[in-house]
Structure 1
Amino acid sequence: MRRYLPSLSALHAFEAAARFMNFTKAADDLGLTQSGISRQIRNLEEFLGVTLFHRSGPRLVLTEVGATYYRDLALALDKLQEISIDAVRGRSVDSSLMIGTHHTLASRWLPARLGSFIAGHPEIPIEVSPALPTTDFDTTRFDITILRGAGTWLHTRSIELFAEKLAVVASPGLIAAGERLDPLDFAKFPMLQNASRPSLWLHWLRVAGLSYNGRIQGNRFAHNDMLINAAVHGIGIAVIPICYIERELASGELHMPFGEAVRSGDSYYAVYPERKSHQPSVILFRDWLIRQTRKYERIATADE
């Protein structure tokens, strides 16, 4: 008996359009034209006999049926991708612990500690990928994430790990190591900007309790890894979360001439979908994270 299934192309087009809420972006993502996306979705709506989008000029809004269909479809496409990858590599994606976190945390803070989890649980293969605070935990493939925020994500359980602390850092080639300056002297030096968090200088001023009315400008870098490298090479001073620069601070490649780090008001949380809260590997990794961050907090407090 033939299955009642629309074409895979139509499903891909709808999933991309619902994910971006924009036909043009969906077309770019799939390498199609905007008219091609529109045609595929029209065919899908005719096949199902339901309306998936309300169209109001350039704006798209999912209908109630469309929103439910998108949520279930995203899970189904993820599963289809998983079994396809399984066939290629010879083991199930379900056997891996899927970990998501911010790009720089994944490349700096986490690898410095992850070896102990791998050594303690060699039976649990892990996969680490970038994750955003806007992750949809209803449909995500991640088993557990480490995210910065205020602790509020829908359909999740979250546990605070450690507070984010910000510092203005410099290379000893730009400001001599050990030199202590008035915090407001930062304006005398070239400043580096973080394009992914453009208000970070203003935020640092506020949480540090400083009043400054001058201009804040400087060369911009797309993300923290680039910003850190620029600061290490003496291009300028930068506001950076100190959890990203443990190695550079310990080695003396960077130092904090304008005072100690201050709390930003955000924290890093272990966040995992409610539907995966009883998964043994999630519980193991969550508890390991809590132990690791308690050690990190004790060391960080001792250094202050």
Structure 2
Amino acid sequence: MRRLLPSLSALHAFEAAARYLSFTRAAEELGITQSGISRQIKNLEEFLGLTLFHRSGPRLVLTELGAAYYRDVSLTLDKLQEVSMDAVRGRSIDTSLILGTHPTLASRWLPMMLGSFIDRHPNIPIEVQCADTNLDFETTRLDIAILRGVGSWLHARCFKLLNEELVVVASPKLIPPGTQCSPTDISDYIQLQNAGQPSLWMHWLRLSKVNYNGRLQGPRFAYFDMIINGAINGLGIALVPSFYVRQEIECGTLHMPFGAPIASGEAYFLVYPERKSHQPSIGVFRDWLLKEMRLSRHSTDNARFYCQRRPVQASE
């Protein structure tokens, strides 16, 4: 008997629109017009006899049935992709890894770590993608992720890797090395802002236990990598996780005029979907990274990732 199935193009259109909650962004991803997305979804709704989306003011919202259908369709499309990749590569998808993490972590920390893994496991192909902290592990295509947070993700298993510490850094061109500043001195400089964490400077001030009534403003950047490059070029002072700038501090392109790093209260975790916990390559990567982290710790969780502390601390 012929299977009663919607068209694959309609499912692609629906999955993209549901993922972005936007016909426009779905159209951009699939390379078709917005009206084409709308038409595909209308055809799918007529085929199913269901309403998959409704409008809440200007926002596109999944109906309850639409949300449940999205989860199932996303998993089904993932499986179709897996079996297609198996056929093309002649090997099981279980031997490969799609790894997601934050953009700056992917560009600064991860490459230093992956060399060891690739040397030991050359037969496990790795693909690295950007991932958001609010990842949906019930539907994500990622096999494994390294994320910042407090260790709470639904439908996932997580393992703590290292605690996050925040440090204020500056270029020697902006603040001469050896200068000792107090937290309230940040008002003397442009403070480079993280668009994704707009309250980060205020959080650091609270951690520093100071009362501050000055301005908190400066150019906003999407990622820490951009902020670090801005600091290197003397645009302003930057507040960043300390392990992102370890090399810059060691070589002197940045220094810490406002003192040593301070624990932020958050950490970085290895996270993967519960539904993929049987995948052998995930277990291999997890065990390797956790072992690397244990070996790298000396007296603190962050020993391997600490900035080289120079004698510019305010307490000196």
TM-score by length of 2: 0.87
Following TM superposition, by how much is the alpha carbon of 1:65 offset from its aligned partner in structure 2, in angstroms?
A: 3.0
Cα pair 2:242 2:307 within 8 Å, conserved: no
Cα separation, 1, equivalents of 2:53 and 2:183: 53
- Is 1:109 matched with 2:106? no
201 and 57 in structure 1: CA distance in 2 versus 1, 3 angstrom threshold:
closer
Cα pair 2:150 2:267 within 8 Å, conserved: yes
Which residues of 2 match residues 23-172 of structure 1 at below 5 A? 23-85=23-85, 91-172=91-172
Q: What are the superposed Cα offsets for residues 176-227 of structure 1, whole Å, 9 maximum, x if unpaired?
A: 2232222221221222222232222112112222211111112222211111
Could you tell me the percent identity over the aligned residues?
Answer: 63
- Is 1:210 matched with 2:210? yes
Once structures 1 and 2 are overlaid, which stretch shifts more, 219-228 or 232-241?
219-228
Cα separation, 1, equivalents of 2:82 and 2:66: 24
Q: What are the superposed Cα offsets for residues 44-99 of structure 1, whole Å, 9 maximum, x if unpaired?
A: 12112233234445444433432222112112222333444555556554421221
Secondary structure in 2 matching 1:162: strand
State the AA in 1 paired with 2:30. Answer: L
Cα separation, 2, equivalents of 1:154 and 1:89: 32
Following TM superposition, by how much is the alpha carbon of 1:249 offset from its aligned partner in structure 2, in angstroms?
A: 1.3
Match of 1:292 in 2: 292
Match of 1:175 in 2: 175
Unaligned runs of 5+ in 1: none
Secondary structure in 1 matching 2:219: strand
193 and 63 in structure 1: CA distance in 2 versus 1, 3 angstrom threshold:
closer
Match of 1:231 in 2: 231
Secondary structure in 2 matching 1:118: helix
Cα separation, 2, equivalents of 1:166 and 1:159: 21
State the AA in 2 paired with 1:264. Answer: S
Unaligned runs of 5+ in 2: 310-316
Once structures 1 and 2 are overlaid, which stretch shifts more, 106-115 or 77-86?
77-86
63 and 242 in structure 1: CA distance in 2 versus 1, 3 angstrom threshold:
same
Match of 1:264 in 2: 264
Cα pair 2:170 2:254 within 8 Å, conserved: yes
State the number of aligned residues.
304
Q: What are the superposed Cα offsets for residues 118-150 of structure 1, whole Å, 9 maximum, x if unpaired?
A: 222223222211111122111222221100011
Cα separation, 2, equivalents of 1:198 and 1:247: 26
TM-score by length of 1: 0.90
CA RMSD of aligned residues (A): 2.3
Match of 1:194 in 2: 194
109 and 64 in structure 1: CA distance in 2 versus 1, 3 angstrom threshold:
same
Secondary structure in 2 matching 1:218: coil
Cα separation, 2, equivalents of 1:157 and 1:247: 31
